[in-house]
Structure 1
Amino acid sequence: MSSARMSAKYVSVLLFLGFFALCVSYKLYPVITPDIPANTNLTTGPFVRIGTGYYFFELNNKRNWYEAYETCRTMNAELITIETIEEWNIINRYIRETNIDYSYWTSGTDLGKEGYHTWFSSGKPININIWDPGMPNNVDNLQHCDEMGWRDGVRSGLNDRQCEFLNRYICEAKQPVTASFVLW
């Protein structure tokens, strides 16, 4: 074994023994808190914190609804679910202020039961009035996935669209938790 590897192993053992001695000498109390404390410099990239949520806006690649959902899942997230009118407003304000006005897939769909749009991520019905006027309209009985964003050059509400349509998307991550320890 090389002296460098032996030194690294020796340091690891010393660190472990030091931590063990510290734990035996003191009482260790774990503190688990929701979210990330404001007094830290941790980053949440590629997710952006908006209000109390964490969102990823795909600005370049377009995917169909299924591929968008899969991509969000690989990031340990889901397509965005809008739960309140306040969340709807804050997301749209962010889009407007950052000038990223596109159409985006949401987790909204009526794939489970035709005409009954729910948030796929939560299974809850879309029960806030955020639909574009006249929507959902299920043109040609083919529109089952819900998008938000621009339509015909105008900011709009939710719109149902064919799930195979290529669109940008917004992923929403669960709120992180922070674990810290207090020594006594």
Structure 2
Amino acid sequence: MLTWFSMDLRFLMMISYCFSLQCETLGSSIGNFANFSQSLEIANDFYADINPFQKVNSKYFYIERSRALNWFEALHKCRELGSDLVNFRNDRELDAVIPELSKKRCYWLSINNFSEKSQYISITNGRPPSFARWGRGEPNNLKNKEHCGQLVAFNRNTFYYNDNQCIRRCYYICETKLPSQTNVVIW
């Protein structure tokens, strides 16, 4: 029988360590770990499948390239993937992702001004963004209808933040941290 289950990596390390102690006690030839640090090395050898995310620097991003959605749908899709719409922390993070983007498209960000019309808040953490590269004159809330943040290439050159109507269709970028779970197969 094949059984799939997910577990926290710390739990996996603990099982690995306990297994090593049992193997030493029984004199098993299956495995004989000398100490806990070897168990840690083995746990570090387990790689979680990050698909469809790609690693850029220390974070994992998913860039939707085939289907444009409104802001709410994009947020929902990211949450289905166990992630959030992107909330760039600094220029370095944004600049690392830019080569993966099409300059002809817009991409939804995690920020909106639903709670306070004059201040953008990240849906990810409920705080104003620590970094925002707004385009000149943005956010401008054109016709009092623009409440969601997007990333666009002005003059098809440099990407900047822009506010736009949340019902407009854009592609989107999801972000997540290092996966904290991995799948283990027991048979």
* TM-score, length basis structure 1: 0.71
The Cα of 1:116 is off from its aligned counterpart by 0.3
Question: 1:149-181: CA deviations, max 9, x gaps?
Answer: 2245343310000001111000111222478xx
Mapped to 2, the partners of 1:129 and 1:169 lie a distance apart of 17
Which of 140, 147, 152 is matched with 1:149 structurally?
Answer: 152
Which of 104, 107, 111 is matched with 1:108 structurally?
Answer: 111
Q: Give secondary structure in 1 for the equivalent of 2:116.
A: coil
Mapped to 2, the partners of 1:40 and 1:24 lie a distance apart of 21
Residue segments in structure 1 that go unaligned for 5+ positions in a row: 1-7, 10-18, 180-184
Question: 1:28-51: CA deviations, max 9, x gaps?
Answer: 84649xxx96x7776421101001
Give the corresponding residue for 2:134.
Answer: 131
Give the corresponding residue for 1:81.
Answer: 87
Contact 1:50 1:94 in 2 (8 A): no
Mapped to 1, the partners of 2:19 and 2:136 lie a distance apart of 66
Residue segments in structure 2 that go unaligned for 5+ positions in a row: 3-15, 25-32, 183-187
Give the corresponding residue for 2:22.
Answer: 24
Q: Which has the larger radius of gyration?
A: 1
Q: Give secondary structure in 1 for the equivalent of 2:75.
A: helix
Give runs of aligned pairs for residues 54-73 of structure 1, distance below 5 A: 54-73=60-79
Number of aligned positions between the proteins: 156
* TM-score, length basis structure 2: 0.70
Give the corresponding residue for 1:90.
Answer: 96
* Identical pairs, percent: 23
Which of 149, 158, 161 is matched with 1:158 structurally?
Answer: 161
Q: How has the CA–CA distance of structure 1 residues 21 and 177 changed in structure 2, closer, same or farther, with 3 Å as cutoff?
A: closer
Contact 2:71 2:166 in 1 (8 A): yes
- Cα RMSD of the aligned pairs, angstroms, is 3.2
Contact 2:87 2:129 in 1 (8 A): no
Amino acid at match of 1:69: L
Q: Give secondary structure in 2 for the equivalent of 1:163.
A: coil
Mapped to 2, the partners of 1:75 and 1:148 lie a distance apart of 21
Mapped to 1, the partners of 2:47 and 2:83 lie a distance apart of 22
Mapped to 2, the partners of 1:82 and 1:129 lie a distance apart of 8
Q: Does structure 1 residue 117 correspond to structure 2 residue 128?
A: no
Amino acid at match of 2:158: R
The Cα of 1:24 is off from its aligned counterpart by 2.8
Q: How has the CA–CA distance of structure 1 residues 155 and 175 changed in structure 2, closer, same or farther, with 3 Å as cutoff?
A: same
Q: How has the CA–CA distance of structure 1 residues 159 and 178 changed in structure 2, closer, same or farther, with 3 Å as cutoff?
A: same
Give the corresponding residue for 1:175.
Answer: 178
Give the corresponding residue for 1:44.
Answer: 50
Contact 2:134 2:161 in 1 (8 A): yes
Q: How has the CA–CA distance of structure 1 residues 111 and 158 changed in structure 2, closer, same or farther, with 3 Å as cutoff?
A: same
Q: Give secondary structure in 2 for the equivalent of 1:176.
A: coil
Contact 2:109 2:173 in 1 (8 A): yes
Mapped to 1, the partners of 2:116 and 2:126 lie a distance apart of 11
